[in-house]
């Protein structure tokens, strides 16, 4: 190592950290699969190979403590592979602690080594597993019950796992996420340039007599358009990762949380191969963790309660992901006690979110949605992970930030299911373009329920709010120019128009459990837009999700369907209208 410069050593350590952290994450998942009896020959081979890789790499960068720990872990798995060692559940705890010690050492801002004292203690405990010395293995564990031996999966011996691994191995190149984002941004600019070329083609043909050069230009322009479209799709695919990257991180927290509460929990995962934008994956972890914690803490009954209800001792939590159109749907369900709407209504009345009269009229299925009200919790006691009334509200806020929705269904005694719906990508959306108050706007097509043609005489004022009768119900109307202060007729700073339009369109939006209409002067059709963030120094309006540039150079403002509705409510309250103004 003496012949390396400091810069070269730092670069080597950074590569070692990134690779080792990924290996440690995979080893943790495979070890938990071994504990639950779901491990296969390939999983055991990955465990040994992971320990061997970390051992060799740490030795190369001079991290002796990590080398010793990894070497001992590898020895343990060697013994399991040849059938000499039976690993029980408490031994799994020891190995997980050993992996944690390595992860803590290399996961800091500067890559470090496992301290000598910790190294000796961990090596001693791991050696106890090899010698089947129960006292040495469990000396530093607080748990005093004996673990059940775990059987090695069939097919571990004679090297079958290694053969399968070499057959299925694929090549990967590590690329910084920022570089992919830059490439996607450039692809978006090329899409805008393609739109300009598409519009120039007909203009050129009408301005110049058609000849061979014009035909060649038209053909080249069409070909370039196809190539740009393919490039954009390819770059978007580079940003797509499987949701398994999120799902597999929950097995261990759920195991530890269930142990804290004295409950048996079986976590079932399906649809891990479902792909979505990397940006979604980064944000999705916390909301899902909130839901899982609440399921273990409040949703699932104790072993005694489940026995009296005729349920299996182990509570089942299911995480399922799948594609539905241009959306990713994630369902988190449990077979626990369900949500009782009666105490939910009572708590909502107590915190002032609901009146007694409204509570009496509210159906039970709607009452369950009240758990998303900030500060509302029906927990009988405060715990470290839940009971403060912020979990469900935080989940809803996080998913809406992703332009998604959250719904909940529950049946008392049978369980609860949360359904999260999000767009596949945050970079490009299919949108409906329209004008209002002289400004060009866009709304995500996923939020558009239907469009109706209307006249001024169709507007009905209820409690001072404009409403439109859509078949058998009234929906509140929102005028973007007024709510966003674009309309000079109402004191805004936008384009001045001579008079109110006699004919207009009502774009009906469905966001969550609400439905309302946006008034549009003119519809311009559907288009795929590349979302550009707005500079907060110049534009401070949370009702705008971003902007995009059309082929003719015009800028279109992309509205956030949920935030526009909230902005409209805030606008009416600012005028002194404190009634239940908006029909939803």
- Which residue has better confidence, 164 or 281? 281
pLDDT score, position 440: 92
Per-residue pLDDT tens digits for 2-40:
566 777 777 778 888 888 888 888 888 888 887 777 666
Are residues 123 and 69 in contact, defined by beta-carbon separation less than 8 angstroms? yes
H-helix or E-strand containing 256? Answer: helix 251-260
Using one digit for the tens of pLDDT, what is the confidence trace for 211-241? 788 788 888 888 888 888 888 888 878 888 8
Q: ∠ CA 328-332-338 to the nearest 5 degrees?
A: 145
- CA dist 73 and 70 (Å) reads 5
- Average pLDDT over all residues of the chain: 78
- Span 428-574 CATH architecture: Beta Barrel (2.40)
pTM confidence score: 0.64
State percent of the chain over pLDDT 90: 9
In the predicted structure, residue 501 carries a pLDDT above the cut 70: no
575 confidence band (pLDDT: 50, 70, 90): low
Residue 500 has pLDDT above 70, yes or no: no
Strands (E) across 247-401 are located at: 264-270, 275-277, 314-324, 327-334
Residue 461: partners with Cβ closer than 8 Å, 6 or more residues away: 467
Classify residue 148 by burial, with Cβ atoms within 10 Å: 0-12, 13-18, 19+.
exposed
- Out of 41-50, 62-71, 98-107, 410-419, pick the least confident: 41-50
Please state which of the ranges 75-89, 140-154, 165-179 shows the lowest mean pLDDT: 140-154
SS3 544: strand
Q: pLDDT tier at 385 (50, 70, 90 boundaries)?
A: very low
**Chain segment 433-470, per-residue pLDDT in tens:** 999 888 899 998 878 889 999 888 888 888 778 888 88
In the prediction, which pLDDT does 494 show? Answer: 43
> For residue 443, what are the contacts with CB-CB under 8 A and spacing of at least 6?
431, 432, 434, 507, 509, 518, 558, 559, 561
- At residue 1 the predicted structure's pLDDT band, cuts being 50, 70 and 90, is low
The confidence score (pLDDT) of residue 299 equals: 87
Whole-number Å distance between alpha carbons of 215 and 317: 62
Class for the domain spanning 243-423: alpha beta
Residue 337 to residues 287, 298, 311, 410, 414, Cα–Cα distance (Å): 21, 8, 11, 9, 6
Chain mean position to CA 224: 35
pLDDT band, very low/low/confident/very high, at 319 (cuts 50, 70, 90): very high
Query: Rg of the Cα trace of the chain?
Result: 30
User: Which of 118-127, 179-188, 248-257: highest mean pLDDT?
Assistant: 118-127
Q: Is the pLDDT of residue 136 over 70?
A: no
| Number of helices and strands in the chain (H, E) | 19, 20
Grade residue 489 by pLDDT with cuts at 50, 70 and 90.
very low
> CB count, 10 Å around CB of 525?
8
Which tens digits make up the pLDDT trace of 521-557?
999 999 888 787 777 666 667 778 888 888 777 889 9
Whether 418 shows a pLDDT value over 90: the answer reads: yes
Rounded Cα gap, residues 406 and 250, in angstroms: 20
Return the CATH class of domain 6-168: mainly alpha
Average pLDDT over residues 370-387: 63
- Mean pLDDT score, 157-179: 54
Give the model confidence (pLDDT) of 274-284 as tens digits.
Answer: 888 887 887 88
At residue 128, the pLDDT reads 80
Residues in the chain: 584
To 10 degrees, what angle do helices 116-131 and 64-81 make? 10
DSSP annotation string for 236-248: HHHHEEETHHHHT
Name the range with the highest mean pLDDT among 79-93, 190-204, 225-239, 535-549.
225-239
Going by C-alpha positions, the residue among 461, 546, 476 that lies closest to residue 506 is 476
pLDDT at 432: 93
For residue 248, give the nearest of 17, 26, 20, 417 by alpha carbon: 26
């Amino acid at each position: 190592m003496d012949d390396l410069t400091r810069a070269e050593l730092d670069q080597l350590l950074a590569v070692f950290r990134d690779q080792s952290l990924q290996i440690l994450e995979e080893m943790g998942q495979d070890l938990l699969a071994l504990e639950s009896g779901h491990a296969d020959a390939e999983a055991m081979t990955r465990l040994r190979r992971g320990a061997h890789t970390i051992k060799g790499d740490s030795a190369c960068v001079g991290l002796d403590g990590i080398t010793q720990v990894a070497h001992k872990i590898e020895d343990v798995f060697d013994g399991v592979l040849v059938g000499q060692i039976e690993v029980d559940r408490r031994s799994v705890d020891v190995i997980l602690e050993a992996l944690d010690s390595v992860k803590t050492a290399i996961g800091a801002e500067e890559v470090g080594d496992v301290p000598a004292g910790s190294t000796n203690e961990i090596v001693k405990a791991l050696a106890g597993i090899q010698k089947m010395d129960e006292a040495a293995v469990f000396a530093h564990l607080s748990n005093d019950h004996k673990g059940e031996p775990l059987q090695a999966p069939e097919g571990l011996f004679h090297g079958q796992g290694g053969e399968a691994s070499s057959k299925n191995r694929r090549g990967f190149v590590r690329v910084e996420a920022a570089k992919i984002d830059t490439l996607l941004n450039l692809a978006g600019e090329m899409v805008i340039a393609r739109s300009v070329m598409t519009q120039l083609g007909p203009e050129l043909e009408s301005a110049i007599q058609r000849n061979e050069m014009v035909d060649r230009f038209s053909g080249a322009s069409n070909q370039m358009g196809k190539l740009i479209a393919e490039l954009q799709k390819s770059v978007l695919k580079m940003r797509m990762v499987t949701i398994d990257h999120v799902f597999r991180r929950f097995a261990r927290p759920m195991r530890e949380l269930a142990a804290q509460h004295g409950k048996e929990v079986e976590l079932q995962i399906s649809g891990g191969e479902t792909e979505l934008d990397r940006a979604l994956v980064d944000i999705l972890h916390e909301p899902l963790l909130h839901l899982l914690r609440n399921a273990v803490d409040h949703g699932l009954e104790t072993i005694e309660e489940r026995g009296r209800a005729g349920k299996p001792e182990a509570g089942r939590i299911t995480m399922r992901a799948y594609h539905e159109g241009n959306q990713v749907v994630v369902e988190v369900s449990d077979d626990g006690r369900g949500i009782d709407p009666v105490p939910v209504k009572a708590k909502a009345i107590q915190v002032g979110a609901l009146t007694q009269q409204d509570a009496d009229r509210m159906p039970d299925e709607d009452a369950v949605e009240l758990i998303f009200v900030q500060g509302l919790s029906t927990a009988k006691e405060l715990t470290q992970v839940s009971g403060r009334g912020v979990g469900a509200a935080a989940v809803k806020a996080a998913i809406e930030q992703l332009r998604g929705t959250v719904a909940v269904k529950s049946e008392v005694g049978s369980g609860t299911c949360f359904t999260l719906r999000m767009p596949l990508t945050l970079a490009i959306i299919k949108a409906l373009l329209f004008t209002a108050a002289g400004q060009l706007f866009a709304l995500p097509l996923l939020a558009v329920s239907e469009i109706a043609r209307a006249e001024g005489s169709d507007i009905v004022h209820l409690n001072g709010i404009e409403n439109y009768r859509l078949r058998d119900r009234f929906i509140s109307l929102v005028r973007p120019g007024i709510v966003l202060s674009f309309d000079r007729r109402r004191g805004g700073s936008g384009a001045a128009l001579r008079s109110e339009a006699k004919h207009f369109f009502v774009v009906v939006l469905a966001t969550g459990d609400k439905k309302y209409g946006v008034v549009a002067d003119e519809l311009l059709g559907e288009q795929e837009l590349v979302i550009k963030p707005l500079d907060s120094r110049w534009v401070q309006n949370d009702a705008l999700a971003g902007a995009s540039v059309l082929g003719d150079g015009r800028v279109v403002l992309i509205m956030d369907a949920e935030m526009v509705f909230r902005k409209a409510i805030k606008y009416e309250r600012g005028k002194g209208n404190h009634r239940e103004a908006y029909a939803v």
